[in-house]
Amino acid sequence: MTLSFPVSEPDQDALEKGRLLFAGETDFVKGVVAMDGMPPDNRIEVCFAGRSNVGKSSLINALTGRKALARASNTPGRTQEINFFTCGESHYIVDLPGYGFAKAPVKTVEKWQRLLKAYLSGRATLRRAFVLIDSRHGVKAVDEEIMALLDRSAVTFQVVMTKADKVKEKERDAIMAQVRSKISAHPAAYPEMIVTSSEKGWGVDVLRAVIATLE
């Protein structure tokens, strides 16, 4: 894959740290529906946020090398809890509920939103949020809402482009320019993006390296 836009480019030491971290055990801990059910915040923690059907579960499965660790579904809004996974002895990987277009009652969606806000402002060990953006569509209004929430919560976020294999190479520059323009308005945004394809394995080693080198 040839990329003509700025993306994260970790060095070999970082790539090796990422490989070693994700070579260890990755296990499901629990699904949380309220703040009092959160596991102890005694590990470095990263979370994944994305609108429904952006490919979040598939990316987490690719990242961890576990085909069914996070449940993938074509039904938007299936993930209704904050799901915690251990990664080695040092990290939590956190799968946040999908946002936008969820086939769920309004009261349920509001409950998710309250829990999400409480989580983002209440986890001392949360080092970075990864906001997943579909490479076919770029940033949508609902994505900007989550970015604004991360700004208000003072949580650094980094954009991860998903499904990059589904976009023709000549169309990528226009999509990436749109994404860069949108995230430039957000003070909590990390300046470099990560481009991935769960199906092809693109960018998975980069994402592992980024997570492994957070302190």
Q: What is the DSSP string of 154-177?
A: T--EEEEEE-GGGS-HHHHHHHHH
Do the Cβ atoms of 72 and 163 come closer than 8 Å? no
Per-residue pLDDT of 88-146, as tens digits, reads: 999 999 999 887 655 667 787 788 888 889 999 989 999 999 999 999 999 999 899 89
Q: Which residues contact 150 (CB under 8 A, 6 or more apart)?
A: 49, 120, 129, 131, 156, 157, 186, 188
Each residue's pLDDT tens digit in the chain (215 positions)? 433 334 667 899 999 999 999 998 899 999 998 999 999 999 999 999 998 889 998 999 999 998 767 664 444 444 578 999 999 999 999 999 887 655 667 787 788 888 889 999 989 999 999 999 999 999 999 899 899 999 999 999 999 999 999 999 889 889 999 999 999 999 999 999 999 999 999 999 999 999 999 98
Domain 12-212 - what CATH class? Answer: alpha beta
Q: Tell me if residue 80 falls in helix, strand or coil.
A: coil
The pTM of the full predicted model, rounded to 2 decimals, is: 0.90
Start-to-end C-alpha separation, the chain: 30
Alpha-carbon 130 to chain mean position: 3
